[in-house]
């Protein structure tokens, strides 16, 4: 080790600067933690202060570390990832970069180091090892903390999703359980109206009508809850077939005309199209339009009007339901499609509602590949616009179910308009 001793004593220090000027400049600028060791015995020859600051006392001082073997400087060197990187560099005579290796030999606890080990050769023989290090402990701890935080957030998200799933299953179960006795009640009401309706007194008929109305309201609420749960969980089936949307929209509008007339609301229909065949689910389309018409008529005062307009916008079919009701405050317009959201102001407090109808409407519209928009101004009414794809289906795309009977629409209209009190 004679030559190395002279280097340690400074007698041949100039040799490193002459042979490896770039590497020596790295040590001198002290911006990068760097050191040069002998090879193959790994004795520290030179190190800048930034490098020494990574090492624990007493080897963080040059006078205590120069001339020491790397295993003395780094307690716990044997078997560590650092030793593995150094041996690999010496064995392959190639530079090795070890990223974020854990070194557990320090008293202060584990540290994370980026260690670059490069053999330096003279006459094709490795004479020195250049070691550049960076203490990444704080950055890695922050990264690990962030990963743990993200992990906890994912666990929390999963927990919330499980709770929501249980809640939806509960809603579905309860709704089904409510529907069974409600079906019996409605059947009993129909039987009483058919068998002994003429024998009831005026007061009896009034109470019978009130029972029927509220059973229909409850049935509407249950149906909406079931449909929302099915749609949100991907169980809502869309049965598309080619339908003349102009004719269908006009028929649906006309079916609610008696309810509008009884309330004294003028209901109109207009279309810029004579006919338009589009691939839609007619049952879902009917639910959407009936719900919008029910809201429009319910919130419109007698003597005012509700209008249904049909038109085409490029590749989309546009259905508008426009009323002259109290309107929706601007800050509430983004909330009306949220489940259980209701607009509570002086103009609407007298009108009942659960706040789930429009949530279902949006889900049904989205399920058919469309979108729904609202424009409204307080005191001037609201305009709900539904946009649906206007293209017709090819033969192999049609998922046609059995034809629906006209009386089904009559029942559905009665359910959707159960909030509107009908006089005899």
- Chain segment 191-229, per-residue pLDDT in tens: 888 888 788 888 888 888 888 878 887 887 788 777 777
Judge whether residue 294 has pLDDT over 70: yes
Are 400 and 343 part of one and the same domain?
A: yes
**Taking the model in full, what pTM does it have?**
0.56
Are 263 and 187 in a shared domain? no
pLDDT grade, residue 384 (50/70/90)?
very high
Read off the pLDDT band of 152 (50, 70, 90).
very high
289/374 same-domain check:
yes
* Mean pLDDT score of the chain: 82
What pLDDT does residue 16 have? 66
Q: Which residue has the higher pLDDT, 407 or 49?
A: 49
For residue 347, pLDDT over 70 is answered with: no
CATH of the domain at 374: 3.30.565.10
Do 384 and 347 fall within a single domain? Answer: yes
Residue 298 and residue 411 share a domain: yes
Q: Quick check: 253 pLDDT over 90?
A: yes
- Residue at 48 is within a domain: yes
Arithmetic mean of pLDDT, 254-264: 90
Q: What is the pLDDT of residue 301?
A: 92
Closest CA to 227 of 371, 369, 361: 361
- Range of weakest confidence among 13-17, 132-136, 140-144, 413-417: 13-17
Tokens of 92: 């392959």
- What does the pLDDT average to over 367-389? 92
Of 345-354, 377-386, 415-424, the one with minimum mean pLDDT is: 345-354
Contact 246, 275 (CB under 8 A): yes
Residue 302 banded pLDDT, cuts 50, 70, 90: very high
In a domain, 424, yes or no: no
* Same domain? 161 vs 125: no
* pLDDT average, residue stretch 301-311: 95
Is residue 299 domain-shared with residue 199, that is, in the same domain?
A: no
Whether 126 is covered by a domain: the verdict is yes
Q: 90 and 226 in one domain?
A: no
Q: Who has greater pLDDT, 358 or 9?
A: 358
Give pLDDT, residue 127: 87
- 8 A C-beta contact, residue 18 and residue 126: no
More confident site: 349 or 261: 261
pLDDT digits (tens, 9 = 90+) for 267-293: 999 999 999 999 999 988 998 999 999
For residue 264, give both structure tokens: 């004294």
State whether 260 and 222 are in the same domain: no
Contact between residue 284 and residue 368 where contact means Cβ atoms under 8 Å apart: yes
Domain count within the chain: 3
CB 420 within 8 A of CB 367: no
We report the CATH number of the domain holding residue 61 as 3.30.450.20
- Same domain membership, residue 121 and residue 214: no
Mean pLDDT value of segment 19-43: 82
Q: Which domain holds residue 307?
A: 241-416
Q: CA-to-CA distance for 116 and 261, rounded, in angstroms?
A: 86
The domain spanning residue 228 has which CATH number? 1.10.287
Q: Residue 22 pLDDT > 50, yes or no?
A: yes
DSSP string, 68-115: -BHHHHSTT-TTSHHHHHHHHHHHHTS-EEEEEEEE--STT--EEEEE
Within a domain: 338 = yes
- Please indicate, yes or no, if residue 365 is contained in any of the structural domains: yes
**Pick from 215-224, 249-258, 378-387: least confident:** 215-224
């Amino acid at each position: 080790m004679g030559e190395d001793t002279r280097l340690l004593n400074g007698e041949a220090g100039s040799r490193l600067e002459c042979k490896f000027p770039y590497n020596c400049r790295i040590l001198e600028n002290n911006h990068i933690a760097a050191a040069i060791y002998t090879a193959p015995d790994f004795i520290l020859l030179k190190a800048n202060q930034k490098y020494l600051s990574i090492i624990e006392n007493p080897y963080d001082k040059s006078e205590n570390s120069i001339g020491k073997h790397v295993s003395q400087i780094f307690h716990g060197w044997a078997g560590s990832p650092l030793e593995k990187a150094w041996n690999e560099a010496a064995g392959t005579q190639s530079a090795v970069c070890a990223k974020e290796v854990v070194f557990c030999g320090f008293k202060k606890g584990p540290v994370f180091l980026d260690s670059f080990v490069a053999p330096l050769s003279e006459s094709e023989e490795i004479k020195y090892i250049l070691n550049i290090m960076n203490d990444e402990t704080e950055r890695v701890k922050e990264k690990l903390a962030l990963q743990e935080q993200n992990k906890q957030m994912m666990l929390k998200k999963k927990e919330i999703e499980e709770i929501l799933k249980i809640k939806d299953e509960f809603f579905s179960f309860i709704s089904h359980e409510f529907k069974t006795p409600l079906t019996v009640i409605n059947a009993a009401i129909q039987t009483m109206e058919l068998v002994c309706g003429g024998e009831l007194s005026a007061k009896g008929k009034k109470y019978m009508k009130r029972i029927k109305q509220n059973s229909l309201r409850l049935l509407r609420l249950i149906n909406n809850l079931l449909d929302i749960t099915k749609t949100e969980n991907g169980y809502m089936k869309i049965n598309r077939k080619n339908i003349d949307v102009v004719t269908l929209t006009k028929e649906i509008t006309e079916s609610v005309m008696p309810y509008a007339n009884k309330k004294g609301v003028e209901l109109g229909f207009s279309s810029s199209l004579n006919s338009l065949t589009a691939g839609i689910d007619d049952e879902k389309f009917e639910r959407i339009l009936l719900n919008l018409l029910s809201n429009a008529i319910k919130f419109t005062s007698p003597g005012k009007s509700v209008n249904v307009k049909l038109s085409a916008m490029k590749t989309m079919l546009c259905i508008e339901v426009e009323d002259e009701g109290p309107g929706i405050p601007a800050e509430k317009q983004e909330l009306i499609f949220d489940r259980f959201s209701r607009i509570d102001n002086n103009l609407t407090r007298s009108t009942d509602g659960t706040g789930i109808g429009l949530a279902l409407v949006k889900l049904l519209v989205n399920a058919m590949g469309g979108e729904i928009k609202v424009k409204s101004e307080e005191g001037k009414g609201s305009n709900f616009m539904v946009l649906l794809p206007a293209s017709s289906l090819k033969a192999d795309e049609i998922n046609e179910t059995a034809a629906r009977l006209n009386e089904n629409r009559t029942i559905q209209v009665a359910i959707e308009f159960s909030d509107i009190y009908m006089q005899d």
